[in-house]
A and B are shown apart, each in its own frame.
Chain A
Amino acid sequence: GENVEQHPSTLSVQEGDSAVIKCTYSDSASNYFPWYKQELGKRPQLIIDIRSNVGEKKDQRIAVTLNKTAKHFSLHITETQPEDSAVYFCAASRGGGNQFYFGTGTSLTVIP
């Protein structure tokens, strides 16, 4: 089955700096990669996703890049703000497949 690894497990940045979280996957058939943000005590919420026919996607301060050859994808947050502090999870799935495979999460702290 699919194996998704996520690094780092914790990340602290100064407000205004950029944050990068990286995930690798093992199944070359995976073709859909969502990222979730989970605030303390809340549910995971989708913040951005990318499909395998796209190399990069941006949404304001958030971007995701995908390297299919190397089987890794990354979340980039620019101009970080305190409200970006949360746990971020990456995931991988086959489009239309049964399961989503999650990374172990990255706890991001933005220091004011």
Chain B
Amino acid sequence: NAGVTQTPKFRILKIGQSMTLQCTQDMNHNYMYWYRQDPGMGLKLIYYSVGAGITDKGEVPNGYNVSRSTTEDFPLRLELAAPSQTSVYFCASYKGAGDQPQHFGDGTRLSIL
């Protein structure tokens, strides 16, 4: 199993540009999450999904959109990039049953200039 795979690993965007951060998992996990981590800070939840077709806002959803058309994929969309969105973005998945941990991807380092 590859686990949770995120692409790209690095990206530089100009203000106002759009992009999609990709996340896919091969563990057949029901739950998937997007977090952002600013330098020296903790994890802030952006959006999460408990299954295909279902998404919910987290703590900091403004400026982002998500979709979940399949169990495997959970892309994060930035429509109008702003400098405040410069961060490291982590995708995570979780089986959704019992006491199990989240599994994280390697992250996408995004800079908005």
Where the two chains meet, the residues of A that have a C-beta atom closer than 8 Å to any C-beta of B are 31-32, 34, 36, 42-46, 49, 51, 89, 91, 95-96, 98-100, 102-105
**A43 in complex: contacting residue of B33, B97, B104, CB < 8 Å:** B104
For B, the interface residue count at a CB cutoff of 8 angstroms equals: 24
- Secondary structure dominating the interface of B: loop
How many A-B residue pairs lie within 8 Å, measured between CB atoms? 47
Q: Is the CB of A44 within 8 A of B48?
A: no
Knowing A89-B43, A98-B48, A98-B50, the reply to whether A51 touches B104 (Cβ < 8 A) is no
**Quick one: which of A42, A43, A46, A103 contacts B101, CB cutoff 8 A?**
A46
Q: Is B78 an interface residue (CB 8 A)?
A: no
14 interchain pairs (CB within 8 A)?
A: A34-B101, A44-B43, A46-B102, A49-B99, A49-B101, A89-B42, A89-B43, A95-B99, A96-B96, A99-B45, A102-B42, A102-B43, A104-B41, A105-B42
